[in-house]
Each structure stands twice: as C-alpha cells, then as structure tokens.
Amino acid sequence: MEGLDNSGLCDNTAVVNTLNSITSKDKEVMHLLRCLAFITAKFQFIIMASHLPGQLNTAADALSRNRVIVFNAAGGRTTIRDPNGAT
C-alpha cells in the first residue's frame, strides 16, 4: 500500500469535498479526518474522492434508498452505468 494513490467514487458531494479538503466544522468528523491524515502520512499513500451521481451507480443508489429489491435485481453488487449508454 505504500506510495499508492487511492481513489474512490461517492455519490455524496459533501463527503467528496470533506475527504478531499481534509477539513470539517464538525468536531467528531475532524477527529476522524486527522486520524486518516496520520495514517496516510505514515504509510505514504493518498486518498482522493470523486463524485459519481447516484443515477449512474444504480445498485449503490438503490441500497442507500433501502430499495433492496432493485439492489438484488442489479446482482446484489455495485455496478456503474455509463452516462453515454455504453456497457
């Protein structure tokens, strides 16, 4: 894991902004961000978050809205739908 850049997708813009800026007005969140910053510095890796609209991440969107039937129909795993319609 040392020296790696780790990126993730999230459909919540507030979470994306908080992770990328490593700052928050919330005391508890700031504590977690400091711990995360310490771990990333110690093991020399970077975490970056990118926004992915929920409509493009159908299974995760269904699960976050407690639509288990739709989640199971998507194979019970997160799949990303191409906004251009490609598969």
Instruction: Name the pLDDT band for 77 (thresholds 50, 70, 90).
Output: low
Could you tell me if 44 and 2 are in contact, meaning their C-beta atoms sit under 8 angstroms apart? Answer: yes
DSSP reduced 3-state for 85: coil
Mind giving me the DSSP string for 23-46?
--SSHHHHHHHHHHHHHHHHTT-E
**Taking CA 17 as the corner, what is the angle to CA 64 and CA 62, rounded to the nearest 5 degrees?**
10
| pTM for the whole structure | 0.64
Buried b (16+ CB within 10 A) or exposed e, 37-50: eeeeeeeeeebebe
pLDDT tens for 17-72 read 999 999 999 999 999 999 999 999 999 989 899 988 877 777 677 777 777 777 77
How big is the chain, counted in residues?
87
